Structure 1
Amino acid sequence: MYDNYKYKTTVEIRFADLDAFGHVNNATYLTYVEVARTKYWKQVIKWNWKKTGIVIREVNISYIKPIVWGDKIFIYVRTSKIGNSSFDIEYKIVKREKEGEILCSIAKTTCVAIDLKSKTSTPIPETERRRMIEFEQLH
């Protein structure tokens, strides 16, 4: 559905994710994008966690439609911008209904590569940078 997104994964809704109104709690969306992002890094980028860490500098989430117990949700993930030590990842959270995929939320995280010893920002490792650029066809 989203041609500019080449990676899509599922995330399971847990009963504990629901609020008093039966919706997925707004804070849980952050966990959902974390799960999707981690799968993307592991499966596509093959990030070397023993060499370089990643921290989140900024998160933006827009809520469009509620997600409720029983919904089948998918998350599209893509790297949209790469700097020297930081990069942006964008997400589309959708649920499948009879009409097709319904957009529920849009999110973006700004991620920063960090040196695990000094705990300071470091340039994105060349191997991971190349994989992001090639997979996403960034220039």
Structure 2
Amino acid sequence: MQSSYISNMGEWKKGFSFSVPVQVRFSETDMFGHMNNTVPITYFEYARIEFLKYLGFMGKWMQEDEEAIPVVADIQCDYVRQVYFEEKLNIFVKIDNIGNSSLDLHYLAINNKEEMCFTGRGTIVQMNRQTGKSIRWNESQLQSVQV
């Protein structure tokens, strides 16, 4: 299965270098031990925040007097294989495209057998917390996120 945002799976997978480990908890599964279909979005959030910390964005955004905040504009998940209770995954995240005030992020979940479990993409926008209007990336931010 290949999603519309992936033109060449091999090349797409090579572009990932940042990941976070997760283990599927009991509370994230149904009565058959399958991971609930809403959980990957939570994993994407965790990986996204850790990635943005790594880039140096979260510290500034978390300051009380900072006008800019990140907002998720859209999110998508494509399921490739079943995931089960206690399964260990690596959730990869990368920047696919940089807009004036947005980042298009791509996600990849791989299990310990090196099998792809699910993929995803989503856009975050840097916005003014008072006005709700987008804020352009500054030069320092752009240098941090060059694809």
Q: TM-score range by the shorter chain?
A: 0.7 to 0.9
Gaps of 5+ in 1: none
- Which residue of 12, 17, 42 maps to 1:6? 17
The worse-fitting range, judged by mean Cα deviation, of 56-65 and 118-127 is 118-127
Give the superposition deviation at 1:119.
2.3
Runs of 4+ in 1 over 6 A off after TM superposition: none
Structure 2: how far apart are the matches of 1:76 and 1:130? 21
Note closer, same or farther for the CA distance 1:121–1:28 as it changes in structure 2 (3 Å cut). Answer: same
Normalised by the length of structure 1, the TM-score is: 0.87
CA RMSD of superposed structures (Å): 1.5
Instruction: Check if 1:40 corresponds to 2:51.
Output: yes
- Paired with 1:11 and 1:126, the residues of 2 have a C-alpha distance of 33
**Residue identity matched to 1:127:** S
Higher strand fraction (1 or 2): 1
Residue ranges of structure 2 left out of the alignment (5+ in a row): 1-9
TM-score when normalising by structure 2? 0.82
Find out whether 1:107 has 2:117 as its counterpart: no
Question: Which runs of structure 2 are paired with 1:1-139 in the superposition (5 Å)?
Answer: 2-43=13-54, 45-47=55-57, 48-49=60-61, 50=63, 51=66, 52-97=68-113, 101-133=114-146, 138=147
Alpha-carbon separation, structure 2, partners of 1:126 and 1:31:
30
- Percent identity of equivalent pairs: 26
How much does 1:14 deviate? Answer: 1.7
The letter for the 2-side match of 1:46 is G
